[in-house]
A = this chain, B = another copy of it.
Amino acid sequence: MMTIGKYSLNEYRRLIEWFHGSPSPGMLVGGIMVDAAIKRLNTTRLYDAICETSSCLPDAIQLLTPCTIGNGWLHMADLGRFALALYEKDSGRGIRVFLDPEKTEEWPEVNIWHLKLRPKKEQSLEKLTDQILKAGIKLLGFQNVEVLPAFLARRAKGEIAVCPACGEAYPKNHGPVCRGCAHASPYVQKKIDMRSRKITGHRISRSEKTSLMNENQG
């Protein structure tokens, strides 16, 4: 019986549905890739993961390995390649697995999906799934890799400060104010939001408040 990581194929499919939300071909081939990477890494040491795409594959890694975004063991490298690497935390040595166009070429439905040769609507999920399961690791390329030392360095948060602008905690080494207040806020700047005590992430000081009230009255 086919297994993917510690799971049967059906168990893995249920995990995909629960976590990822849809029965995506990327999650299926991704599961096969992660499973193959674990087997080839074949280590008893702790390992981290690098994911080279943000499509599907990170979820396969998170479901099948101890590495997640939130525990810091999964590192995203947005290179746009459908590939991952698992590597030992201490040595940086590991295995990279990628979807190989020279190999997917022999599986027409996989090739069409992988190189996006036809719009998604015109692809058959059923045929694609069949070919992925039939081909399995025949779709994959493997490389031994060594992760750059700069990438291995543990990024400690260091001391925590309270941002004088928004009043929230942030890593002091980010600068005199937090990044959200400095430049990188993903939110529309609002003039004033009476339901909160903040303007645009800036805590309203008593004097600001008074001047705002005066403006509104004026």
A21 interfacial by beta-carbon distance below 8 Å: yes
| Total copies of this chain within the assembly | 2
Task: Please tell me if A76 contacts chain B, counting CB pairs below 8 Å.
Answer: yes
Q: Is A122 an interface residue (CB 8 A)?
A: no
**A interface residue count range (under 10 / 10 to 19 / 20 to 34 / 35 or more):** 35 or more
**Chain B residue, CB-CB nearest to A173:** B80
List the B side residues contacting A102 at CB < 8 Å: 167
Contact with B along A108-135 (1 / 0, CB 8 A): 0000001110000000000000000000
Complex contact A79–B178 (CB within 8 A):
yes
Determine which of B81, B99, B168 lies in contact with A81 in the assembled complex, contact meaning CB atoms within 8 Å. B168
Are B198's CB and A80's CB within 8 A?
no
| Contact across chains for B80 and A174 when beta carbons are under 8 A apart | yes
**Is A55 interfacial (CB-CB < 8 Å)?**
yes
Q: A80-B179, A186-B77 are in contact. Are A99 and B169 (CB under 8 A)?
A: yes
